[in-house]
Amino acid sequence: MSITTARAVTASPWAASPAPTTPQAWVRRAEEVAAILEVDAVERDRALATPYDEVRLLKQAGLVTLLGPRAQGGGGQSWQTAYQVIRRVAEGDGSIGQLLGYHYLWSQLPAFYGNPGQTEQIAATATRERWFFGGAVNPRDADLVAVDTGDDLMFSGAKTFSTGSKVSDVTWLEAAIDGHEHHVFALAPSDHPGITFHDGWDALGQRLTESGSVTVQDVVLPWSAALGWLDKEFRPRVYNTLALPAIQLVFTSFYLGIATGGLRTALAYTRERTRPWPYGGDDRERGVDEPYVLDAYGDLQSKLWAAEALADRAAEAIEELHLDPDGLTPRARGEVAVLVAAAKQRAVDVGLEIGTRVYEVTGARATSSDVGLDRFWRNVRTHSLHDPIAYKRREVGLFALLDEVPEPTWYT
């Protein structure tokens, strides 16, 4: 497979800086990225512009290869650090946080599903070449089909969503394959002439995630590229099922980042611009002295901290499982899935509450479109519908009540 990075790389803000080496330093790096992203987040969101520059920034910052092996120039960091990094980036721009989170998932797909040889080879090349990953993946449909042509697989069809593919270097094709129960995943260069990305992602939130549809026409990839397949049979590691809680915790991470961004943006607005109310209360000189303002911020901040603490605990738990992939049991995997389901609920709840209530503590003029304070509500509201949150409550309820852990599906 020979894929080269097409995008020009302009001067990096970190050209003169040494690469971070500790988790703390990586998180700081992510904060620097967020600060850059935040500057024109409102305009970018409205323009619905394809985020080529923002992906380049992630590469320059080294975040794209955070999980890659150090030998090839990667950060060699753990998923725990990755969750923190996603959070920080999403604080500056929720869409870019999602793109980075999905990239981590796609880039680590071999570690979840691949044969050891595939895992190592893809990790090495991806890190060296600083690939940004996309995915034409949706296990709920079979609109993309792979045909066995002997040594190769030929992919044709379409996918409704293809998050990040348009700004990616490589894209996973996920397809139904005739005569097999399991779908096949294989990596293709995103600029392959048989792959066409369509615009048309125009949603309420997470607007820059390039989640439009894709059509695939006669893309031929070798059987050896089929992740986890050996001799035309799917032989998954137990480990594969860990991908699912990881996915949901990636979601949770950027929800928390968006919520934090929303709260921080509102706090700054209130400090700088919110006026006290002159009628019917105690006369106050500053908006920040209004009791109802302090009360609301205290409530929101406390709830956000609690959601973060639970997500951190889930990240610790999942990290332990990553450290011993071969020892993974369905029960251990299921318990983590339940913890992640709980963390997701708390993140969504507080994200939506912050998204709505910040207006009450900033005031009428904060509804001006150029303030753009609505993007936080829109971003959480949109992606939190990926799969029904009611089923996350149900999963946790089944565990609490009947000590049952969820069966691995694409959503638990």
**CB-based contact 13:60 (threshold 8 Å):** yes
CA-CA-CA-CA torsion sign (397, 398, 400, 406): negative
Which residue's CB is nearer to a copy of itself, number 105 or number 396? 396
- C-alpha span between 114 and 117 (Å, rounded): 8
Query: Which of 81/260 has CB closer to a copy of itself?
Result: 260
383 close to 251: Cβ distance less than 8 angstroms: yes
Beta-bridged to residue 174, according to DSSP, are: 185
Q: Of 12, 123, 110, nearest to 59 (Cα)?
A: 12
Compute the least distance from the CB of residue 391 to a copy of itself, in Å: 5
Structure-token pair, residue 87:
């959070």
* 84-92, 121-129, 164-172, 377-385 -> range binding a copy of itself (CB under 8 A): 377-385
What does the alpha-carbon distance between residue 95 and residue 203 come to, in Å, rounded to a whole number? Answer: 12
Of 7-15, 88-96, 111-119, 401-409: span binding a copy of itself (CB under 8 A): 401-409
Which has the closest alpha carbon to 159: 180, 145, 179?
Answer: 145
- Closest CB to a copy of itself among residues 83, 377: 377
Could you say whether residue 28 binds a copy of itself (CB under 8 A)? Answer: no
Q: Which residues in 223-282 contact a copy of itself (CB under 8 A)?
A: 263, 267, 270-271, 277-282
Q: Does 410 bind a copy of itself (CB under 8 A)?
A: yes
Q: Which is nearer to a copy of itself, 291 or 327 (CB)?
A: 291
List of E strands, 223-362 = 229-230, 233-234
Q: Which of these segments, 170-178, 191-199, 203-211, 215-223, binds a copy of itself (CB under 8 A)?
A: 203-211
In the complex with a copy of itself, the residue whose CB is nearer, 39 or 203, is 203
| Positions 119 through 148 that interact with a copy of itself (CB under 8 A) | 140
Q: x/- contact string, 80-119, with a copy of itself (CB under 8 A)?
A: ----------------------------------------
# residues contacting a copy of itself (CB under 8 A): 84
Pairing of strands 229-230, 133-136: unpaired
Question: Which of 33, 226, 396, 405 is the binder for a copy of itself (CB under 8 A)?
Answer: 396
Backbone φ and ψ of 169, nearest 5°: -90, -40
- How near is the Cβ of 29 to a copy of itself at its closest, in Å? 23
Q: Which of residues 323-342 bind a copy of itself (CB under 8 A)?
A: 339, 341-342
Q: Which is nearer to a copy of itself, 34 or 396 (CB)?
A: 396
| Binding flag, residue 17, a copy of itself (CB under 8 A) | no
Q: Which residue has the tokens 């009791």?
A: 291
Which window, 35-43, 72-80, 171-179, 396-404, contacts a copy of itself (CB under 8 A)? 396-404
Instruction: Report in angstroms how near the CB of residue 149 gets to a copy of itself at its nearest.
Output: 32
The DSSP code sequence of 40-90 is THHHHHHHT---HHHHHHHHHTTGGGTTS-GGGT-----HHHHHHHHHHHH
Rg (CA), the chain: 22
In whole angstroms, give the CA distance from residue 209 to residue 51. 8
The pair of structure tokens assigned to 379 is: 């971003």
Instruction: Identify the helix (H) or strand (E) that includes residue 216.
Output: strand 214-222
Instruction: List the x/- string, 274-313, binding to a copy of itself by CB under 8 A.
Output: ---xxxxxx-----x-xxxxxxxxxxxxxx-xxx-xx-xx
Q: How far apart are CA 138 and CA 129, in angstroms?
A: 26
* CB closer to a copy of itself, 123 vs 310: 310
Is the CB of 23 or the CB of 76 nearer to a copy of itself?
Answer: 23
